[in-house]
Structure 1
Amino acid sequence: MHAGPLATLLVFAILLGPARAAPVDYAKRAAALIEPYRESGLMSGTILVAKDGKPVFRQAYGLANREWNARNTLDTHFRIGSLTKQFTAAAILQLVEAGKLSLDDPVGRFYPEAPKAWGDVRVRHLLNHTSGIINYTALPDYLPAISRIERPAKALVELVTGEALLFEPGARVEYSNTNYLLLGLAIEFASGEAYARYLSEHIFSPLGLKDTGYDDATAILPRRASGYRFGQGQWRNAAPMASSVAYAAGGLYSTVDDLLAWDDALFSGRVVSEASRQNMFDDGGRGYGFGWYVGTAHGRTLWSHGGAVSGFLAMTDYYPQERLAVIVLANNENAPAQKMSRELAALWFGALHLPEPIVLEDFILDRYAGTYRLGPRFFLDIRRDGGRLMVQGKGQGTWQPANAFVPESDRTFFSRVIDARITIDTEPDGRPNGLVLHQNGRDRIAPRIDPAEAARILAEPRRPPVEVSLDPVRLSPHVGRYSLAPGLVLTVGLENGRLWAQATGEPRHILYAEDERAFFMKSLDARITFEGDGAGRTTGLVLHRGGLDTPCPRIPESRPPPGRDGAVRGKSDSGSAARSSGVVKRGDRD
C-alpha cells in the first residue's frame, strides 16, 4: 500500500469549510489538503492549480536532492514522462499543417524497416494508440536491462518488430509507448531535424518555454531534481534509466509554470490550428485523442495525461469548460500524483467529501496499540500519536512508512491518503483481539499477535523454491485473467512451455513451476498458487508477495488479452510467425 499520515483534526476542519471559495481561501484549503501527503513524505515536488490561466495555488514540497538536502522550488526541473506525448503530437500536427506529413501516411514512409504486418498502420493510429503495435516498455526485460542502455530510437523499435500486432489497426485502443517512438522518427523524417532540436526551435523557443527541454543526463542542467523511491524501509535513489530510452514517448523535463504556459498556448491556438486542436481531442469515444486522455471527472469534461519514468511521476489535468488546470510534478515514485490532482479539482468544484473525524480519549487509543498479523509474513504495528493511530506495515524485506488513521467511531479509523479503513475487533471488556483492514475492495483480517512472535516469524529464513519441469498441457488450465483488485487484472498466459503473469500496467514476469499449482518468479519476489475445483478447473489464484497473500478469483470465461493466442498474425521479415506480448494498457506509466 502507499503510505502517509493524515494531518491533525484542525486540517480536516479547514477542509470541511465552505465548498466554493475565492482563490485566497482556496489556496489555504488546498495547502491543508496536500499537508498529509507532505507530512508523510509522499509528496516531494511541485503543484500548480490555475483558473483562467492564473495560478490560484502554487507550491513546492520536499527535497530535490536528498543527499545534499536541497529543497524543491517552483523552478526545479522534473522529468515529465508521458506528458511528453502531447508535445510530440503537437509537432506531428504542425508538420501535417505544413504539408510534410499526413495523418494517413503509413509507418513505412518514415520507418522503412517496418515489418509487413505493420503495413496498415497509419500516423493517426500511432497518435491515438490504435496501431496494435506492442509496448516496448512492457517487455519482460525492460526494467532490468532495456531501460538502462543508451540506444537510438530505431534500435528500441527493433525490439518489437518481430512481434505480431495485438489487433487490426484502428480496432481499439491499447496504450503503447512504441507508437510515440515511431512518431519521433516521423518528426525527424519530415522536418530533417533531430527530435529534440525540432521541439526546441518550433515549440519551446517560440512559446518562451525556457524551462522545458529534452532531458540528457550527461548535460549540466541547473536545478535538476533527482528521482527517488521508497523501498525496504528507507528512501533510495531510483533505478538508473538511460536518457535515450524514453525519447519522444517520455523524454522531456519541465516545470509547473512552463506546463501552464504550454496549456495556455495550446488551447489558445498558438501551437496548432483550431482544426488540428479539435483532432487532438477527438477520441472517437475511445478515451484517447492525440497525446491526451479524454474523459470526465467530477461530472465535467477532462483532458489529462500522466507520466512516470524512473524516480518521477507527473500529472496534468485540464477541465476545458471551467478552464481549470491542475499540474503535479514529483521526484518520488510513491507520490499519488493523480489522486492529489483529482482531489484538488474536487476541492475547487465543491465536490470533495471527507468523513468527519471524532475525538477519542487517549486511553482508548492506547489500548489499540500493538502488533497485528495481516499475512503469513506481514504485520501492522500500531501506536498512538496524539488523537490518531499511526499504522506501519512490516513484512520480510518490506517496511513501509507510518501511516496515520483518524477516528470515525470508537473502533473505526480512516486514512484518506491511502483510502483505507481499519476496524478494531474487541472483547466484551474492550481489549482488542484483532482488526479488519478495508482497502481496494478487500477486507483483510489481522489477529493481534505478540510483537516478539512477529519478530521471530520475520527472522525465519524462507525455503528457496526448487524448479520442476511440467508438460505444457498441464499448464494450460491456468491461462486466463484474474481479479487482483477493482480495476486491476492479473493476466496469465502460456508461451514456449512456460506460464507468464502480468498485472495491469506492469511488465510480464515468467512463472517457474514448483509443482502443478505452485509457481515462483525470479524477476520479482513473489509466488503464485493456483486454486481449483474437484473437476480440475482452475478457479482462482493466490498471489504471495511482500508477506501478504492476496486471493484473486478467476474472471469467468476469461482468456488472455489478444496476444499469443489471439493476436493478428503476421509474418516477420525472416518469414517466421511473428510473436505477440500480451501487453496490457499501462495508463499513466511509461
Structure 2
Amino acid sequence: MKNAPIHKLIPLTLIAILLATSAIFAQSKSAKIDALIQQYVANRQFNGAVLVAEKGQVIFKKGYGMANIEWNIPNAPDTKFRLGSITKQFTAMLIMQLVEKGKLKLAGKITDYLPDYPRVTGDKITIHHLLTHTSGIPNYTNVPKFFETMSRDPYTPEAFTKKFADLPLDFEPGAKFSYSNSGYFLLGVIIEKVTGKSYAELLKANILTPAQLADTGYDLFSPILPKRASGYEKERGNYVNAPYLDMSIPYAAGSLYSTVEDLYRWDQALYTDKLLSAASKATMFTPFLGSYEEGFGYAYGWIVGKAKVGERKDSLLLIAHGGGINGFNTLISRAPQDKQLVVLLSNAGRAPLDAMCKNVLRILYDQPVQTPKKPVTDLLRQSVMTESVATTRQKFGVWKADKGYSVNEGELNNLGYEFMRDGKLPESIAVFTLNAEAFPTSYNVYDSRGEAQMKAGNKVAAIQDYKKSVEINPKNADGFAMLKELGESVEAPKQVIATVDTATLASYVGTYQLAPSFSIAITREGDKLYGQATGQGRLELFAESKTKFFLKVVDAQITFATNEKGEVEQLILHQNGRDMPGKRVH
C-alpha cells in the first residue's frame, strides 16, 4: 500500500487536534461543575443528581449523596426523582396539543368543558387563566391544615376538585398573578373530560412515548418502580423521612417522576416540532403576568425572562421552572439561544438550586463562579437553644462578617418559624430580631416578628412591628389586617387620582403589542380609561399623572410614551420590577 500524500494527512491531523482541544475544554468545564457541586454537597446543601448540556450535548451528569440513606444506595443519573411542579410544563404541553387539535380553546371557559363546575366562577375563568395562574382560584395547598387533614388521603380528580371549587376567588380572573396548584389540577380534569382518557394514559401516548421518555411517568405509591429515590427533609439540622403524600393530590400540578437524563431528552424534543408546532410553542413560551423573580413572567407551565450571567454584557433568555414536593426539590433551566441546559434534582428537601444553576451557567459562559457559602442557620439554631441571647448575638455578628458563611433573610425567617411551630416563642423572637437587625429595610422581617410577638402575648411589641412593616411597605395588606385585629385603626394609604382631559385619554386608545401573542387593548368610555390584556378581563386604569396610570386590583402601572411628533407610539407596563414596552400596532 502506498503512503498517503502529505497534503491529505494534514486535514485529518488538524481535525484530530481540534477534537482533542474541544475535549479538553469540555473536560475542563465538566471538572469545574463537579468541583462546584461538591462544595454544595460538603455544605450539606445538596443531595441528588445533576445534568448539564452545552450546545445541545451532554457534558456532565452525575449523582451525589444517597437515593436511599437507610440502605446506603447512591444517587445516579438514572435515579428517578419526584418532579413536583416541573409537572406543570407537561400538563401545559398536553393542553396545547389539544388546542392544536381543536378540542380546546385558550379562551374557553371552565364550564365549557366541566358543566358541573360552579358557574359563578367557572363561567368567567378561561384555560388561559388556568395556565398562567391568573384565575383567582385559591391554591388548595394554602388551605388551613391542608397537609394535616387532606394530603394523605386518596381522591379521584372529580372528588378533589370539590375541595376548592366552591371557594370564593382571591381576585377577579385576569387581574393578577398568584401561583395556584388548583388551576393546574383543573387542567388535568379538563384533559380527562375532553379526551375520555386518564391524565397518565394521555401523557404516555402524547408525550412520553413520542419523546422516548422511558424513565418518566405518574409517580403512584403502590407500583414497584426501579431506582426510585426516597424523599428526605431537614429537621433541626438532620435528615428525616419526608411525610407521606398521596400522589392523587398533586395530580396534573405535580405528580410526575423523571431522571436528569430523561429531562435532557425532553429538552431536546422541545427544539423540534415532534410534540407541538413552532407557532404553538411560541405561545406556550410567551410570559404574561409577573412571577417569583424580578424580570421574569409566567408563560404556560414555564417561567420566562432574561438574566445576567456573571459579567456578560448581554442578558440571557432563560426558560425554566422549579418544583417542590415532600422530600424533593427540582429545577430545569433552558437557555434556548445556545441550547444550554441545567437540570438539578434533589431528594433531600429544599436546596439552593437557583444559586447552583446560576453558578453552572457562569461556568458554561466562562464567567467567574461565586463560591458557595455555608448556611449560618445550623450554627444559629444550636446557639439559640444552648446559649444566652448576648452570646448568640455576638457569634452571629462574627458569622455575618465571615465571607464563608451565608446570612440569608429567607433562611433565617424559616428558622424563626421552625421555633414558632415548636412552641419556642422566645427563641423564635430572638431569631426574628437578628433577622431584623441584619435586614432592617425588609418589611417581612418585622411582619414575621410581629406574628411571634402576638402569639407570645406581647401586644405592644406586636403593634410596633406591624407598624414598622407597613411603614416600609404601605402595600402590605396583611400587616394592616393584623393591626386592625390588634385594635389599631391604621388605614392603608390611598392613591391620589389625577384628572386627565378626555382628548388626552382618547389619544391613548389603541392596541399595544408587548410580545408576539400578548397585547394590551386600551379603550375609553367618557372620562374613564380601560386596559384589557390578551385572554384577560377589562380593567379600569386610574391616572397618577397625565401619562402614567395605575390599576387598583393589581400592583401594576402603565406609562404612555410619545414620539418627536407628539404621537403616542408605545406604552410601558411596569409590574414586578419589570418595564415591558409595547409598540402601538393600531
**Normalization by structure 1: what TM-score?**
0.64
Alignment of 1:341-356 (within 5 A): 341-354=357-370
SS in 1 for 2:330: strand
SS in 2 for 1:37: helix
Please state if 1:396 is matched with 2:385: yes
Task: State the shift of 1:43 in Å.
Answer: 1.6
AA matched with 1:291: G
Aligned to 2:248: 244
Residue pair 1:166, 1:563 contacting (<8 A) in 2 also: no
Residue pair 2:132, 2:298 contacting (<8 A) in 1 also: yes
Q: Distance in 1 between matches of 2:173 and 2:400?
A: 54
AA matched with 1:75: D
Alignment of 1:7-22 (within 5 A): 22=25
Change (3 A) 1:327 1:171: same
Unaligned 5+ segments in structure 2 are: 1-23, 291-296, 309-314, 388-397, 414-418, 427-437, 485-491, 493-553, 555-586
Residue pair 2:51, 2:61 contacting (<8 A) in 1 also: yes
Q: Distance in 2 between matches of 1:561 and 1:272?
A: 46
Alignment of 1:140-151 (within 5 A): 140-151=144-155
Higher relative contact order (CA 8 A, sep 6+): 1
Q: Distance in 1 between matches of 2:338 and 2:459?
A: 54
AA matched with 1:306: G
Q: Which residue of 468, 475, 487 maps to 1:540?
A: 468
Q: Which residue of 285, 292, 304 maps to 2:320?
A: 304
AA matched with 1:88: T
Q: Distance in 2 between matches of 1:72 and 1:154?
A: 36
What do the CA deviations read for 1:252-297 (whole angstroms, capped 9, x no partner)? 0000110010111122221111111011011136401100001122
Please state if 1:230 is matched with 2:234: yes
AA matched with 1:294: V
Q: Distance in 2 between matches of 1:462 and 1:98?
A: 55
AA matched with 2:108: D
Q: Distance in 2 between matches of 1:101 and 1:562?
A: 42
Q: Which residue of 109, 123, 126 maps to 1:122?
A: 126
Alignment of 1:414-429 (within 5 A): 414-415=403-404, 419-420=406-407
Please state if 1:558 is matched with 2:476: yes
AA matched with 1:309: I
SS in 2 for 1:207: coil
Residue pair 1:110, 1:185 contacting (<8 A) in 2 also: no
AA matched with 1:414: K
RMSD: 3.9
Please state if 1:23 is matched with 2:30: no
Alignment of 1:511-590 (within 5 A): 515=457, 517=459, 529-532=461-464, 538-540=466-468, 555-556=473-474, 558-560=476-478
Please state if 1:276 is matched with 2:280: yes
SS in 1 for 2:403: strand
Change (3 A) 1:411 1:187: closer
Aligned to 2:3: none
Q: Distance in 2 between matches of 1:66 and 1:49?
A: 25
What do the CA deviations read for 1:15-37 (whole angstroms, capped 9, x no partner)? xxxxxx92211001111111111
AA matched with 1:517: K
Comparing both structures, which one devotes a greater share of its residues to helix? 2
What do the CA deviations read for 1:91-121 (whole angstroms, capped 9, x no partner)? 0111111111111111012323322123210
Change (3 A) 1:379 1:91: closer
Q: Distance in 1 between matches of 2:109 and 2:54?
A: 40
AA matched with 1:532: Q
What do the CA deviations read for 1:458-486 (whole angstroms, capped 9, x no partner)? 9xx98999xxxxxxxxxxxxxxxxx9898
Q: Distance in 2 between matches of 1:97 and 1:143?
A: 37
Aligned to 1:427: none
Aligned to 2:185: 181
Q: Which residue of 317, 330, 338 maps to 2:354?
A: 338
What do the CA deviations read for 1:544-587 (whole angstroms, capped 9, x no partner)? xxxxxxxx975235323999999xxxxxxxxxxxxxxx9xxxxx
Residue pair 1:136, 1:157 contacting (<8 A) in 2 also: no
Q: Which residue of 51, 54, 57 maps to 1:54?
A: 57
Q: Distance in 2 between matches of 1:157 and 1:114?
A: 9
**Normalization by structure 2: what TM-score?**
0.64
Aligned to 1:168: 172
AA matched with 2:208: F
Task: State the shift of 1:352 in Å.
Answer: 3.3
Task: State the shift of 1:166 in Å.
Answer: 1.9
Q: Distance in 2 between matches of 1:309 and 1:486?
A: 31
- What is the count of residue pairs matched by the alignment? 419
Aligned to 1:208: 212
Please state if 1:289 is matched with 2:278: no
Q: Which residue of 413, 420, 432 maps to 2:402?
A: 413
Residue pair 1:441, 1:486 contacting (<8 A) in 2 also: no
Q: Distance in 1 between matches of 2:400 and 2:152?
A: 48
Q: Distance in 1 between matches of 2:194 and 2:122?
A: 20
Residue pair 2:83, 2:329 contacting (<8 A) in 1 also: yes
Residue pair 1:111, 1:182 contacting (<8 A) in 2 also: no
Aligned to 2:87: 84
